[in-house]
Structure 1
Amino acid sequence: MNAAVLVEQALQALAAGLLVGCVYGLLCVGLAFIFGIMRVINFAQGDFMMVGMYLAFWLATHVLGNGMFGAATPFVAAALTVPVLFAAGAALHRLLIARTTGLRAAGLSAEGHQAQLILTLGMALVLQNGGLLLLGSSPYSIVTPLSSSAWELPLLYDDFSAVFVNHARAIAAVLSLAVAFGLFRLVGSTRLGKSLRAAADNPEAATYMGIDVDRAHRIAFAIGTAVAGLAGGFIVTYYPVQPFVGVDFIIIMYAGVVLGGMGSITGAFWGGMVIGLVQQLSTLVLPLQLQNAAIFAAFVLILLFRPQGLFGRNVERA
């Protein structure tokens, strides 16, 4: 294999890694809202993404399938999952999560973390087996011309070499960047963001300042759930959904959040970006089955030299 082919393959993997990494970054941002603000290890986050994937598939094929939105139909369907998942996240927090978090957790053993682990794991199992019972194990994905078409970017050093950028992945990446930036602005520049940061830093002091910590946590959990559903809607345009797909992605989410720095939403996005790049670039030297092994190898190496993550613990904690 000559050098030109190696360069072309490396650039193709780099382009794919950047596109996938943006969506992974959005997934990690959704988890960071829950983990960074509420200090809840949510094992059901990948399954919220799975619900978003199924919901986006159903909306695109059965509700919006009349061609009204044309090629944009999958992304309109993904956007429509946001209010549904936001309402579901708020309801789950009010009914279940709130009993093991916030000020209520102060008197519980290990500040409620044991109960949180069991509760979110139970939610994940209910969603997985409920999906299997209701929808079966057959994989589904949104059939769209965008998924099978790409922009061709010719390489200047060779008339026959080019990098192909998949339309569906590129649009999903751009939308993921826009949503992530909006969430950064929400946390950093709004009154709601200040209340979320205060509730994350010191719930008891935030209460004395007149902030409803329980409401702040409910909003954070609802936003995190909605973001997972939205990212799932993007992913189903090029990755099939089945009831246990969340298991594969929850590993990526937590690896990205830890890599970026505990409690940092900005760091979570860049952590997801690193995961996407490592995953795609590893295919140059490793078989597809070892992609996750490459992710964990990079994870260990980065934390070995920078245990606090890419952005460290001194970064803004919400």
Structure 2
Amino acid sequence: MAKKTQEKGQGSNRWLVVIIILVIMGFFSTMVAGIFALVLSADFDAAGANVAIIPIKGPIYGDADSGAFSSVTGSQDIIEQLDKAAENPSIKAIILEINSPGGSAVASEEIALKVASLNKTTVAWIREVGASGAYWIASATNHIVANRMSVTGSIGVISSYLEFAGFIERYNVTYQRLVAGERKDMGVPFRELPDDERAILQEKLNIIHGYFIDAVAENRGLDRAKVKNIADGSFFLGSEALGFGLVDELGGRNEAMAYIENTLNITAKAAVYQKKISFLEALAGIVSMQSFSVGEGIGKAVVEARPHSGVEMVA
């Protein structure tokens, strides 16, 4: 009886070992395939290309890392790719593939100004979302294509934070205020925001909002009063944005490519321009993706739900 039990246990262990080996093999095969796809695809796609597609995905920040596995966009990385495409004589046009809710007002304007300065045909291809700061960028292109259900517009600026003054008072925690300069701790979450400081912050938001309205009106060739009338922060579907003059055409990649072909009288062939990654970065990215899949995004959800502890102005 004991011998049968021992044999049964050994059989179960063998199956467990087999399963572990298969899981490890699957992990490494996926990792190797992903690395080779990342490293080799750029070279093959770029051969003979005359249109550069530059992805702008996720929130937009000034110093974010826009690597192949990143879910955010860094303005300096995008500007670097725009420069690269602009300096390539084979590239005749640039498509910004946008799927972003916006982000830092400064970072958004940095990219928009760069796009406006280019001497090549530029097209914004808005996918699911091209709103707020991302729309600011799109408005600087020569032509905007959006799906009829794309979320766009949202011409506004937001600044918010959680205030803990009542919470810390309840638990007998004291905020000791030491400043040299009366406004130095304006917006700190550990004390109530006085009306005069609220008015100052609102004034800053209004100024940035005005810059946003000016940029859209100038870039789109629209009357400023007309833009201001719809610049209450509301988002619009692509079909609605078309009626307001915020986009030029409903469609997707095919329509963006067709616009370039008709405008420049060329047969368009596209290549994706994005930040190059090293072998080690690719390896780290693949491992991160695998870990993320196993965890089903729980960690990311927790991080994104994290409250801000200070004033932040976002377009």
Q: TM-score, normalised by structure 1?
A: 0.23
Q: Pick 1 or 2: higher relative contact order, CA cutoff 8 A, min separation 6.
A: 1
Q: Which has the larger radius of gyration?
A: 2
Q: Which has the higher helix share?
A: 1
Comparing both structures, which one devotes a greater share of its residues to strand? 2
